Amino acid sequence: MSPSLRKNLFIAFLVAPAFVILIGVVVYPFVYNVVLSFSNMNLRHIRDWEIVGLRNYVKVFTEPSQPDFYVIFIKTVVWTVVNLFFHVVIGVFLALVLNQKEIRGKGIFRTVLVLPWAVPQLIVALTWRGMFNYEYGSINQIMTRLGLPAVEWLRGPTEAFIAVIITNVWLGFPFMMVIALGALQSIPHDLYEAADIDGASWYHKLRNITIPLIKPVMVPAITLGTIWTFNNLNIIWLVSNAGEPSDSTHILVSFVYKAAFNFYRYGYGAALSMVIFFILLAFSLVFMRRTKAADAVY
Amino acid sequence: MPKPTFKRNLRVTASYAVLVLFCLIAVYPVSQVLTVSLRPADRLLSTSLEIIPANATLDNYINLFTRTDFLRWMGNSVLVTLTVTLTGVALASTAGYGFSRFAFVGKKAALQSMLVTQMFPATMLLLPMYIMLVKLGLINSYLGIMIMYSATALPFCVWQMKGYYDTIPSSLEEAGRIDGCSQFQTFTKIILPLASPALVITALFSFMSSWTEYVVAAQILQDTALWTLPIGLKSFESNMSTEWGLYGAASMIVTVPVVVLFLSLSKYLVSGLTLGSVKG
Amino acid sequence: MRYGLPIRPLFLLLAAAVSLSGCGGPKDDRVRITIWHQDRPDVRDVLQKQLDRFMALHPEVKVEQLFKETEELRSGFIIAAIAGQGPEIVYGPSDQVGPFQVMDIILPLDSLFDRTFLDQFTPKALTYYKGRLYKIADKMGNHLTLVYNKKLVPVPPRTEAELVAMGKALTKDTNGDGKVDQYGLTWNYTEPFFFIPFMTGFGGWIMDEEDRPTLNTAGTVNGLKFIKALRDEHRIIPNEADYNIADALFKDGHAGMIINGDWSWAGYQKAGLDIGVAPLPKITSTGLWCGTMVSPKGFSINANITEEKKRWAVELIRYLTSEENQMEATRTLFTMPTNRNVIRSGFVQNNEILRNSQIQIDNGQPMPVVPELRAIWDAMRPSYQAVLAGSRSPEQAATDMQLQALQRIREMNE
């Protein structure tokens, strides 16, 4: 066996199994949806659907809807960006604090901090909803005790949106913390020691050692985190009681959900899903290129 | 170079303060779930703020084990989740290594396409996925959901392994090759141990994604004997009269294995290069 | 460096999981019938008892019940049925019939059951759509009632004026901290389904005979004004209440009355409350009772069913809707039966809760079965909540609801 063939076989051995599973599972549903997005499959044509061209795509962008497609799109972007920002900042910050030599009881801190990830989401999201209640919720009770005015969290559109985001930040930071904690382990101590000898400031060390070295692990996590958050309807649905007040807390996927499950408009839902797909594809291509995540560091 | 001790003490104290604060924030909502599980008569909410309710009872926990199939769901979930976790770790650790260390045709495209699989809203995938599994005869079978779960968790796991391998200097493998190890041996004996933090994260992520998954399981598993924990939990719910007591108790117990897993894996999370196995 | 995974414990754990799990066991060659339903736990217990008896009578059949949450039952059944699968029987309220019939995934039942069998039921129990029978119900339900805490409300109000007067007397600050901590009335009033009684009380309804939305009426406007007045003018309901908050307030004794359905009664009794159930009050200006949506809950058969299983499904439905089994359910669950003999029985006629439940059913309107109902709910929700938030006038909201509903219906039926 020639060395190059042997090397290729080794690569195939490493990469192929994961790929076969992925392709096996993903290709059919994806192609099915592409076809569906050009079809008129809906309540009246659930089995006898046919290809009708771009009609669904035109509708996605032009059909008047309440709330408006473009408003929802902007909300989705805000929702995603704010969530990811806090997930990553809080997660990395806690990981850095935990990673200091002097801290004792790390195991306990780590475990307690990971709890929001570990508890079943449905019930915790609903207890958060209870915590946001104007009169009986603990958040307002704490705020008034601290001399702050009580907030009508679930009645105003902006307040409700903030409440949903707070809940999701709480649910999501442990994940980023764990990833960052893992990533920090790959940084050899001597790099910091050398920097200390040069008299580098903490900011300088963060900027020039920590961030570049955790980047290869964090960038994929952030990319995927963005994709998941963009499409994560559950928490919004539970905390805002399906979009209250007045459908003002929806994000784009709730349109997909409603189209498919409430109105049986499968063709339209598939077209909207394709649009979401392309938005996320464009984002990840740009983001990955900017951060050079596919390249090696050494 | 001695540091000014005052500054150091300040930093350590501040760190503890931050950690305690965040621990409180992390625990409080969970303590509310505990309260629900101790409250009689299925109340999700209450007008009082006590964590241990006035008439606390363990009935919900007792009922959970005596009146429901909780243990069987637990067994089913452990079976599915462990298989998915082991598969995920095995496939991701190898594929990630391939992507990190070797140049081959279509590598970047392959890496990107892994992410692409996560971008499509899951809502719309349910119908074709179901049709596909019917055609393959995998409805009502664990093989069906195990494959689905592995495929869902893989993109993240592969990327995360690849990212971690990227930070391990390749000089280490060259040293191994000089010592006479084969390619496969350098991978398993030198690189894999160093990547244990990433393996832990991969394991944890695969575990969580199948331990808590509900939508796919509910569509595929149409036999109560096959139910996993999330479907079981959901059965305590009904439109307007959910058995919140049982739901809370089950949620607390479902959390325990995750915490145990995290505790037992977390020593591997902080080993690796920093243990000094490479230095010197 | 040792990094070995804990292989042995892992292996033991897997072995334990396999033994606990549903894997293996002897193969079972009985005919399998599965029922999907969305019923609450105590109803499931009664159903299970009846299924066990049925299986004892027919050892060659195995029947399994599977709980699915309402939305999930519908979407899950559609997905499974399109792929040629799914449970043999679906059980639920009558609004399933419209979409399932249009998609052709349930069977017409006319030819499967004889006239004498069907004649034992009250006509409301049989759901016809486009001239054919698609569902046979064993319970009447989904109606909302006025539940009151007898300790706080000795006699329930009969008109909306009495409701407001009583509410005002009950709403107070009991511990002197300057905040109201006991309300006259509470309920999940942000949800359109819970608004329907007031819409009908003021003479409105959601659809006409041709299934066109009729949301832009005086009934809607006055109903909206009334609910807003309860909160902002009379101040007898809490500022913010969803289902769980309302439930907690009532269970904790902080509300004298709650508007809720038959599914909630047992829970209130379990919480130690002495409750009474009364029909919702009459609106004086219109002379109409606040009527709610009433729906039969019953059995439909999957269109994909095999001939052999169809025979058993029919047999099973006959059994589950029988007089004895309905009597059993009514006695244990206080649900309203559909069998004429059970309705006439002393138990139903003499029980105060059931009698009032029956009055509320008689005051109500049948829930429409057409798929367009989904569009109506979806159109009502945002405008309704905007009125409660004070950002839209009731008149504007009624207009908006109507327009939205028309658009949604057009989109659905393309």
pLDDT digits (tens, 9 = 90+) for B238-275: 777 788 899 999 999 999 999 999 888 888 887 655 44
The pLDDT, as a whole number, for residue B237 is 83
pLDDT digits (tens, 9 = 90+) for A257-295: 888 888 999 999 999 999 999 999 999 999 988 887 656
The pLDDT, as a whole number, for residue A8 is 87
How many CA atoms, within 13 angstroms, populate the side-chain half-sphere of residue C306? 7
Chains that touch B (3 or more CB pairs under 8 A): A, C
Fold of the C144-291+372-412 domain: D-Maltodextrin-Binding Protein; domain 2 (3.40.190)
Pairing of strands C31-37, C89-93: parallel
Contact B239 C18 (CB under 8 A): no
Give B75's contacts in chain C (Cβ within 8 Å): 16-21
Contact B225 C272 (CB under 8 A): no
Residue recorded with tokens 């809940």: A167
Give A154's contacts in chain C (Cβ within 8 Å): 240, 242
Helix axes A3-37, B142-166, angle to 10 degrees: 120
d(Cα C339, Cα C120) in Å, to the nearest integer?
6
- Nearest by CB to residue C264, choosing from B48, B126, B240, is B240
pLDDT for B1 beyond 50? no
**CATH, residue A265:** 1.10.3720.10
A250 and chain C in contact, CB less than 8 A: no
The pLDDT, as a whole number, for residue B279 is 36
Residue of B nearest to A112 (CA): B23
Shortest CA gap A44–chain C (Å): 6
Cβ contacts of C84 within 8 Å, gap of 6 or more: B134, C304
Contact B82 C14 (CB under 8 A): yes
Shortest CA gap B131–chain C (Å): 5
Contact C67 B235 (CB under 8 A): yes
Give B224's contacts in chain C (Cβ within 8 Å): 64, 66
Pairing of strands C132-141, C336-337: antiparallel
Which of C193, C385, C408 to mutate against chain A (most A CBs within 10 Å)?
C385
Q: List the CATH code of the domain at C30-141+295-366.
A: 3.40.190.10
Give B83's contacts in chain C (Cβ within 8 Å): 14
- Are the beta carbons of C323 and C170 closer than 8 angstroms? no
Pairing of strands C61-67, C89-93: unpaired
The pLDDT, as a whole number, for residue B3 is 57
pLDDT for B178 beyond 80? yes
Total domains in the fold of chain A: 1
Q: How confident is the model at residue C414 (pLDDT cuts 50, 70, 90)?
A: confident
Average pLDDT value for residue range A198-217? 88
The pLDDT, as a whole number, for residue C240 is 83
Domain of residue A65 covers 38-291
Residue recorded with tokens 């303060």: B17
The pLDDT, as a whole number, for residue B168 is 87
pLDDT digits (tens, 9 = 90+) for A109-141: 999 999 999 999 988 998 999 899 888 888 988
Residue of C nearest to B242 (CA): C40
Residue A1 lies in a domain: no
d(Cα C338, Cα C307) in Å, to the nearest integer?
28
A29 and chain C in contact, CB less than 8 A: no
pLDDT for B278 beyond 60? no
Average pLDDT value for residue range C363-389? 92
Q: What is the mean pLDDT of chain B?
A: 88
Average pLDDT value for residue range C71-96? 94
Cβ contacts of C28 within 8 Å, gap of 6 or more: C62
pLDDT digits (tens, 9 = 90+) for B47-82: 777 778 888 889 999 999 998 899 999 999 999 999
Contact B45 C83 (CB under 8 A): no
A296 and chain C in contact, CB less than 8 A: no
Chain pair A-C, CB pairs under 8 angstroms: 91
Chains that touch A (3 or more CB pairs under 8 A): B, C
pLDDT digits (tens, 9 = 90+) for C168-212: 999 998 888 778 889 999 999 989 999 999 999 999 999 999 999
d(Cα B82, Cα C17) in Å, to the nearest integer?
9
Q: How confident is the model at residue B94 (pLDDT cuts 50, 70, 90)?
A: very high
pLDDT digits (tens, 9 = 90+) for C283-318: 999 999 999 999 999 999 999 999 999 999 999 999
What are the structural domain ranges in chain C? 30-141+295-366, 144-291+372-412
pLDDT digits (tens, 9 = 90+) for C223-271: 999 999 999 999 999 988 889 889 989 998 999 999 999 999 988 998 8
Contact A112 B28 (CB under 8 A): no
Residue of A nearest to B94 (CA): A14
Shortest CA gap A64–chain B (Å): 22
Assign C125 to helix, strand or coil: helix
- Are the beta carbons of C171 and C184 closer than 8 angstroms? yes
Shortest CA gap C349–chain A (Å): 39
d(Cα C263, Cα C150) in Å, to the nearest integer?
19
Give A256's contacts in chain B (Cβ within 8 Å): 121, 123-124
B210 and chain A in contact, CB less than 8 A: no
Tell me the percentage of chain C whose pLDDT exceeds 70.
95
Give C414's contacts in chain A (Cβ within 8 Å): 40, 42, 44
The pLDDT, as a whole number, for residue A241 is 85
Give C381's contacts in chain A (Cβ within 8 Å): 243, 246-247
Q: How confident is the model at residue B280 (pLDDT cuts 50, 70, 90)?
A: very low
Assign C251 to helix, strand or coil: helix
Contact B139 C85 (CB under 8 A): yes
Residue A32 lies in a domain: no
pLDDT for A68 beyond 90? no
Shortest CA gap C259–chain A (Å): 19
pLDDT digits (tens, 9 = 90+) for C318-338: 999 999 999 999 999 999 999
Tell me the percentage of chain B whose pLDDT exceeds 90.
55
- Are the beta carbons of A194 and A139 closer than 8 angstroms? no
Residue A18 lies in a domain: no
pLDDT for C354 beyond 90? yes
- Are the beta carbons of C205 and C365 closer than 8 angstroms? yes
pLDDT for B2 beyond 70? no
d(Cα C339, Cα C326) in Å, to the nearest integer?
7
The pLDDT, as a whole number, for residue C57 is 96
Shortest CA gap C319–chain A (Å): 33
- Are the beta carbons of C163 and C256 closer than 8 angstroms? no
DSSP B175: H
